[in-house]
Amino acid sequence: MFKGVQDCSNIRWIVYFNPSITIRIDLLKRITIISTIFTAVSMTTLVVGASGATGRLLVEQMLERGQHVRIIVRSTDNLPSEVISHKNLSIICASILDLSESEMAEHVGECDAIVSCLGHNLSFKGIFGKPRRLVTDATRRLCNAVKENSPNKTVKFVLMNSTGNSNRDLKERISFAQKCVIGLLRLLVPPHADNENAADYLRTKIGQSDGVIEWVAVRPASLTNEPEITPITVHPSPTRSAIFNDGKTSRINVGYFMAELVTDESLWDMWKGQMPVIYNV
C-alpha cells in the first residue's frame, strides 16, 4: 500500500508502506498543512496521561491539527501555558481511577477517540507502589464507559505500550535469553506486567470485531527526548531485541504517530487491531 502527500513549494512526502512504513516529515510546522488534507472534520479525542512527557506532546500535535481535545490530569503543572489556554482544550482535573462509573461515562461521551499515554513514574514508589494496575484498570474502565454510552459510531482506542511486550496474536520470535529477562521483569517489575495486561485486555476482551471499539497498541523502543519530528519506520513486530538492542524512538515521534492514527482514516485502517512498533530512522 502506498500513500503520498506532496507540498509543491518544497518537495516533501509522507509515505506509508505496509507492512513496513517509512514516514518522513522535516518540520513540525508542516503538520497542520498535511493534516488539513487528511482530515475533513474536527474530532474530539480524550487523552489520559496527558501531562506526561509523551502525552503533552501528543496533545500539542492534536491541537495543531485543529482537533478538540479533552484531558484528564491530576495537575496541569507540567503543561505549557499555551496548551492550557487553548480554545480547543477541555481540562478535567482528577485521578483517572478515582472517577465514578457515571463520571467516566460522561467524560468519554461524544468522543471519537481515546488515547492512553498512562505510565508509571520511574521512581521506587512509582514502580513498586500503588496503583500497580494503573494502565490496565484505566484501559478496562475507559472501554466499559464507552460501551455504557452505546455510541452510534465506532470509537478508536490508542494505547501507548512498549516493545518489551509481545503481540501474542502473532508468532513474534524472541531469543531464549530475552524470554528469561522478560519473565523476570514480569515477576519483579509491576509496570511491565501492567503494560502486558493492558494490551492483552484490548487483544482478548475487545478483540478484532467488537463493533463499538477499535484499537491500536503503539510500541515504541527506548524513549528519547528530541526537539523535532524525524523520520521513523513502523513495523508489525520488533525487528530487533527489545532487551539487548532495542533502538530508539523519540517521544515527539510517538506523539506524531498516535495523532496520525487518530486523524488519518487510511492509516487507522492499516493498523487497527494490531500493535505496530516504531523506531527512529
Taking only the tens place, the pLDDT of each residue in 67-115 is: 999 999 999 999 999 999 999 999 999 999 999 999 999 999 999 999 9
* DSSP at 29: G
* DSSP at 194: H
| Whole-number Å distance between alpha carbons of 206 and 215 | 8
What are φ and ψ of residue 233, in 5° steps?
-115, 145
pTM of the model: 0.85
The more confident residue out of 27 and 267 is 267
Would you say residue 128 has pLDDT above 90?
A: no
Residue 130 CB partners (closer than 8 Å, separation 6+): none
Among 24-38, 61-75, 118-132, 239-253, the range scoring the smallest mean pLDDT is: 24-38
| Whole-number Å distance between alpha carbons of 216 and 28 | 24
User: For residues 167 and 105, is the Cβ–Cβ distance under 8 A?
Assistant: no
258-268: average pLDDT: 96
Q: Does residue 91 sit in helix, strand or coil?
A: strand
Specify the CATH class of 21-280 in words: alpha beta
127-135: average pLDDT: 80
57-69: average pLDDT: 96
Residue from 47, 61, 20 nearest 254 by CA: 61
Among 46-50, 74-78, 113-117, 119-123, the range scoring the smallest mean pLDDT is: 119-123
User: For residues 159 and 215, is the Cβ–Cβ distance under 8 A?
Assistant: yes
Output the pLDDT for position 159: 98
User: b vs e for 162-176, b when ≥16 Cβ sit within 10 Å of the residue's Cβ?
Assistant: bbbbbbeeeeeebee
| pLDDT band, very low/low/confident/very high, at 3 (cuts 50, 70, 90) | very low
Sign of CA dihedral 25, 270, 257, 223: negative
E strands of 119-255, at which residues? 155-160, 213-220, 222-224, 232-235, 248-250
CA 264 vs CA 16, 140, 189, 260, 261: distances in Å: 12, 25, 35, 5, 6
User: For residues 76 and 84, is the Cβ–Cβ distance under 8 A?
Assistant: yes
Taking only the tens place, the pLDDT of each residue in 198-236 is: 999 999 999 999 999 999 999 999 999 999 999 999 999
